[in-house]
Amino acid sequence: MRNKVVVITGASSGIGYALAKEFASKGVRLSLGARRTELLEKLKDELPGTEILIQKTDVSIENDCRMLIEETIKRFGQIDILVNNAGISMRALFEDVDLKVIRQLMDVNFYGTVYCTKYALPYLLKTKGSLVGVISIAGYVGLPGRTGYSASKFAIRGFLDSLRIENLKKGLHVLVAAPGFTASEVRKAALTTDGSQQGETPRDESKMMSSEECALHIVNAVRKRKRELILTFTEGKLTVFLGKLFPSLLDKLTYNHMAKEPNSPFK
């Protein structure tokens, strides 16, 4: 991967932050997009031997995504890997939630992926590069209390699977990466019924896969040009397997699992 150009959205924390570090250890050049550029500057200071471009990017804004790609080309002249990682979550019953929350989830998670991919695709085709979408197990099974989140992740998976087939003869590599529950800020920043952030995670983050381990798996999957990556056995691979063979059972197991969360919106 030495000297390849990697674009990562949502690089200011969590999996995106860890991905930047992991890719940097392979000798790549980085283009990092996020709204909190002060955190990107901090990350840049931690990677003194890596050539890094920082671009303030709100992926829900099409022009921000266009500028991220254009500035990357101006600086590096190519794009080898695009990692669509930026995303937000929610925690609210659909019957109670303000529809603006669902719209915001789709704007950030789905349309952010669409916008960045649209502008990066011509350059990825030139390099026969890798297009990556970081989704979630919620992109394989509907999670109660997270309707907008699951909908956006299902949409990303369908979008990327379709693009893979469209470009089957053009050398484009498409990876759909689905971590299980991973320690990050995503639950603290999850939106509630009125669109405000919940502020506290309802789960024990110390018992989850670390962002660093997740990033290592994703980078290895890119290197091996895998089409799909499902992480963790119980909450990942087993869940997807049960969804295919025993969907009604999985519905009950998922409900009971999510209902155990502190202050769960349903019981």
Active-site residue set? 149
Has residue 216 got a pLDDT over 60? yes
pTM summary value: 0.92
Residue 261's pLDDT band (boundaries 50, 70, 90)? confident
Cβ atoms of residues 28 and 6 within 8 Å: yes
Cβ atoms of residues 122 and 133 within 8 Å: no
Tens of pLDDT, residue by residue over 124-156, are 999 999 999 999 999 999 999 999 999 999 999
CA atoms within 13 A on the CB side of 10: 24
Tens of pLDDT, residue by residue over 53-103, are 999 999 999 999 999 999 999 999 999 999 999 999 999 999 999 999 999
Residue 184's pLDDT band (boundaries 50, 70, 90)? low
Residues 6+ apart with CB under 8 A from 60: 104, 107, 108, 111, 112
Q: Which domains does the chain have, with CATH numbers?
A: 5-240 (3.40.50.720)
